[in-house]
Amino acid sequence: MGTKNRKSQLLWGVGSLLIIAYALVPVLWILSLSFKAGDDINNTQFLPTPLTIDGWDPASLSLDNYATVLSSDLFLTALRNSVGISLIATSISVVAATLAAYAVARLEFPGKRVLLGVALMITVFPIIAIATPLFDLWRVIGLYDTWPGLIIPYLSFSIPLSVYVLSAFFREIPWEMEQAAQVDGATSWQAFRRVIVPLAAPGVFTAAILTFFMIWNDFIFGITLTSSEAARPVPAALAFFSGASSFEQPTASIAAASVLVTIPVIILVLAFQQKIVAGLTNGAVKG
């Protein structure tokens, strides 16, 4: 048994390393590309040149790409749009989904399972299927190339996802705790706000993070429903990035911009990783 356990652990370890390498190598390559300058982007070395006799020279790292990106009005405006749209859509989605998921978890009504099934179906519905109809509709009613024109489609997909995640989490909270609060004199709203919501905080954080990531990384709506810098988010704006000049390949600059827009995602994951894991695992314990 001891030999089998060691072999099993070894296989799991090797498999984990392969998965980690598969996930990290493209990220590390983009990070390396973001520090290369000029014609150096055409070489196949992982680290920027030059190589000295003693090894790689850290002085060969160039921050010019990051300086170019941070001084670009196109990138800064797109970053402002992404932050504003993502925060507004996430806030509305989480508040609406929290109320809806609580009703789904606590009330019994006909079609309850069908409602959750439809919510799950919406989350996997291909975005490209409605991008073109929305393009035509938004141009007619005046929402094209505006923040609301992006926020509304994002809510259409993020609220069902949040409802599905939060309803499973609310079902784990004992009904007796809310009844005890009401016995002590709390109203239904006070019991929900002061007892249920704090207990459901891991699930709420999970829904908020998943929603924020989905909106932050969206490209299809961003490129289809905008035509100028007025509302164009970062993923779509990178397609129009031209670098320091029109005669320079923007590859390294786009890599630097990609690294910069990934930093907020990494910070959020590291800051709330315990709540995210708790929310995902807790909601999956019972159906």
Q: Are residues 125 and 40 in the same domain?
A: no
What global pTM score does this model have? 0.80
Tokens matching residue 281 = 């695992």
Give me the domain span that covers residue 98.
64-283
Distance CA 267, CA 19 (A): 22
Q: Are residues 124 and 45 in the same domain?
A: no
Closest CA relative to residue 283, chosen from 159, 172, 123? 172
Identify any residues that bridge with 55 across adjacent strands, giving them in sequence order: 52
Which of 60, 87, 106 terminates a domain? The answer is: 60
Q: What is the mean pLDDT of residues 274-286?
A: 56
Closest CA relative to residue 240, chosen from 231, 230, 229? 229
Residue 174's CB: how many other CB atoms inside 10 A?
A: 9
pLDDT score at 42: 58
Of residues 286 and 202, more confidence is placed in 202
Q: What is the CATH number of the domain that holds 121?
A: 1.10.3720.10
Distance CA 109, CA 104 (A): 9
pLDDT score at 284: 45
Q: What is the mean pLDDT of residues 64-90?
A: 89
pLDDT score at 47: 56
| Residue 51, H or E segment | strand 51-52
| pLDDT band per the 50, 70, 90 thresholds, residue 134 | very high
Distance CA 196, CA 187 (A): 12
Which of 23, 44, 60 terminates a domain? The answer is: 60
φ, ψ dihedrals at 52, nearest 5°: -95, 175
Which of 60, 84, 100 terminates a domain? The answer is: 60
> Over the stretch 151-181, which tens digit does the pLDDT of each residue have?
999 999 899 888 888 888 888 877 777 778 7
| pLDDT band per the 50, 70, 90 thresholds, residue 278 | low
pLDDT score at 55: 45
What integer best gives the mean pLDDT of the chain? Answer: 80
Cis peptide leading into 26, omega within 30 of 0? no
- Per the CB < 8 A criterion, the answer to whether 257 and 234 are in contact is yes
pLDDT score at 144: 94
Is the confidence at residue 252, as pLDDT, over 90?
A: no
